[in-house]
Amino acid sequence: MTLHDLEKSFQAKIDAEIKIEPKDWMPDAYRKTNLRQISQHAHSEIVGMLPEGNWITRAPSLKRKAILIAKVQDEAGHGLYLYAAAETLGTSREQMIDDLHSGKAKYSSIFNYPTLTWADMGAVGWLVDGAAILNQVMLCRTSYGPYARAMVRICKEESFHQRQGFDALLVLSKGTPEQKAMCQDAINRWWWPSLMMFGPKDSESTNSDQSMKWKIKRKTNDELRQHFVDMIAEQIKLLGMTLPDPDLKWNAEKMHYDFGEINWEEFWNVVKGNGPCNKQRLEARNKAHQEGEWVREAALAYAAKKAERLQKRVA
């Protein structure tokens, strides 16, 4: 078969909603795009543990602490599912980790914002996990099999993340004036960065929609973002709080909420590494990796020794 034939039968499979599996033929660009996207997604789960890990020792009750630990542990699991999916495309775990630690590979910019108060744990769960879930639900149907399967597993675990966040905010919203203020302040700080999670506006992209054609993605940034705004604009009423956007308004004609313009300068700045915590996050990851080095080596040495002993006994 010529390359052209291979590409044609590949696209035919995609069109027929047949999943692509690791050993199937795939175009180079399909492999690379998936690799980049899945590994970035994995890095986001791992780096995403840092802003929340920040509050584990300071959670206001044992119950909240247990919940937060469970959530952060889930995120570690999500990172692992995704790294494993990326490895099926022919990269190694070490390569991906190295690229994260050198700053070569990216992760979601949202995790470059600081978590300043306890209310941030609520806002992150509700808004950040909430935004991520919309993307991840879509990805459950992505065309690359291992990625789709990882997403199904992740989605099952995510919904508790969003609910516990809303639950934490709900308690604060019924608390003392200080607690209410803390709740509103966290929402104010996390709202815009959450909207940025969906990426630039569709009109910004002039290039061909290859990711859509290959069904890696099935919804555009703007579609997902609108869905998110419509959802949150209703939910916030239950908290008795407000979103920090004077332009937010129900549009009866469109049957959607209108909302204000995102600060794109801030968006690109954080992507390029100048967010409030970019440096801190990478340092934390590097430190953890370096300090774990001896453990990784010791485990390997121990496994080798055990295998050797077994061999001797057999001989």
Partner 1 sequence: MSIRIQKFYYGDIPEEKSGAFMPSSMANEASSGWPLWEVFIRSKQGLDHKHAGSLHAADAAMAIENARDVYTRRQEGISIWVVESKYVHASNPDDAESFYDPASDKVYRHPTFYDLPDEVKHM
Site for Fe ion in 41-80 (CB under 5 A): 45, 75, 78
Q: Which residue has the tokens 């991520």?
A: 132
Please state, in angstroms and as integers, the Cα–Cα distance from residue 156 to each residue in 140, 171, 214, following that order.
11, 25, 25
Residue closer to partner 1 by CB (options 21, 234) is: 21
Residue closer to partner 1 by CB (options 139, 183) is: 139
Residue closer to Fe ion by CB (options 124, 282) is: 124
Q: Which span sits near Fe ion by CB under 5 A: 28-36, 40-48, 61-69, 176-184?
A: 40-48
Binding to Fe ion (CB under 5 A) within 145-164 occurs at: 158, 161
**Residue 161 partner contact from partner 1, Fe ion, none using kind-dependent CB cut-offs of 5 to 8 Å:** Fe ion
The closest alpha carbon to 192, from 255, 252, 133, 246, belongs to: 246
Q: Least Å distance between CB 132 and Fe ion?
A: 6
Q: Least Å distance between CB 198 and Fe ion?
A: 16
Residue closer to partner 1 by CB (options 138, 181) is: 138
Binding mask 231-270 for Fe ion (x = CB under 5 A): ----------------------------------------
129 binds Fe ion (CB under 5 A): yes
Q: Least Å distance between CB 218 and partner 1?
A: 10
**Residue 95 partner contact from Fe ion, partner 1, none using kind-dependent CB cut-offs of 5 to 8 Å:** partner 1
Q: Interface with Fe ion by CB under 5 A: which residues?
A: 45, 75, 78, 129, 158, 161
